[in-house]
């Protein structure tokens, strides 16, 4: 008997590309899927990425660059 192909496992994360106001870019930023959807759509992703950026900037001892645009990574 032929074996059925298994379906790809849904990742627990959605990936986002981020463009900052200074023109820099960060790709494939991970955000838990549990935070997304509903009436707010992808807005929780912006807050999550801003929190991640704040933590990184604090550790690096430099100011955080404001986010200009967030889009889901195609895939």
Range of the domain at 57: 14-72
Kindly state whether residue 59 falls inside one of the protein's structural domains: yes
Kindly state whether residue 57 falls inside one of the protein's structural domains: yes
**pLDDT over 80 at 4, yes or no:** no
Kindly state whether residue 21 falls inside one of the protein's structural domains: yes
pLDDT tens, residue by residue, 5-34: 655 555 689 999 999 999 999 999 999 988
Kindly state whether residue 62 falls inside one of the protein's structural domains: yes
Number of domains forming the structure of the chain: 1
Answer whether 75's CB lies under 8 Å from 16's CB: no
Kindly state whether residue 6 falls inside one of the protein's structural domains: no
- The pLDDT of residue 11: 60
Beta 25-32 vs 67-72: how paired, if at all? unpaired
Mean of pLDDT over the chain: 87
Kindly state whether residue 7 falls inside one of the protein's structural domains: no
């Amino acid at each position: 008997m032929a074996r059925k192909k298994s379906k790809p496992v849904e990742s627990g994360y959605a990936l986002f590309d981020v463009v900052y106001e200074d023109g820099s870019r960060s790709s494939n930023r991970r955000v838990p899927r549990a935070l997304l959807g509903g009436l707010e759509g992808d807005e929780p992703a912006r807050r999550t990425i801003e929190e991640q950026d704040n933590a990184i900037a604090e550790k690096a001892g430099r100011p955080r660059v404001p986010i200009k645009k967030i889009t889901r990574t195609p895939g």
